[in-house]
Amino acid sequence: MSKQSGFTLIEAMIAVAIVGIVAAIAYPSYVNYIIGTNRAAAKACLTEMSQSMERGYTAAFSYEGLALPAIQCIDDLDERYVFSLSNQAARTFTATATPKGVQTRDECGPLTLTQAGARGANGSFDVAVVRTCW
């Protein structure tokens, strides 16, 4: 009698189960990594926006009337964040990056940066939240 070579159905099912378990563990970690990377890019973009606002303030001695700067990072993150300026007065502004799409899974929520350099996350300037998200 000759012996046939190959995989049995049980062996194939065990291999599929192992791949499924590894994927179930790895995929959420990957998604969290991507969300954290996008958050870091949004923080850098908020900082760049703030610097642009400061340059405008230096020229006009006021933040009033200054528009959202046309910087590349806003276009790069267009699918993940909406950037805006609010509370804009002569001497104050707040730049905000509001997550959208897949990025809404981020526990940090909207990121904010003021003219004074105060950083906020999830609608709060709480030190513990800021330390975690910034």
Q: How many CB atoms lie within 10 A of CB 83?
A: 20
Q: Residue 21: what are its φ and ψ, rounded to 5°?
A: -65, -45
Instruction: From first to last of the 134 residues of the chain, give the pLDDT tens digit.
Output: 667 777 889 999 999 999 999 999 999 999 999 999 999 999 999 999 999 999 999 998 999 988 888 899 999 999 999 999 987 788 999 999 999 999 999 999 999 999 999 999 999 999 999 999 99
Please check whether residue 44 is in contact with residue 81, taking contact to mean a CB–CB distance below 8 angstroms.
Answer: no
Gap between the Cα atoms of 31 and 116, Å rounded: 33
* pTM of the predicted model over 0.85: no
Structure tokens of 96?
Answer: 């905000």
